[in-house]
Amino acid sequence: MHFDKELDARGLNCPLPILRTKKSLNDMTSGQVLRVVATDPGAVKDFQAFSKQTGNELLSSETASSEFVFFMKKK
């Protein structure tokens, strides 16, 4: 999937992956896509909730070994 910016949140625990994602999205323009890689298993539910609360679209969520990859589209 095409993305405009990437955020490495590996090794960070809740709530840091979400906080860093929010900061990254603030620096982006509407419609751009952010790819986030995290290792915190709680991030799956966190990103779903973050998407609902902020209106930023969670395009996809993938799990590869012990890493979770999220694609967020800025509203």
Just list the catalytic residues: 14
Listed in sequence order, the residues at least 6 apart from 69 whose beta carbon sits closer than 8 Å to its beta carbon are 35, 36, 37, 60, 61, 62, 63
Strand order in the sheet with 67-73: 5-9, 33-38, 67-73, 57-64
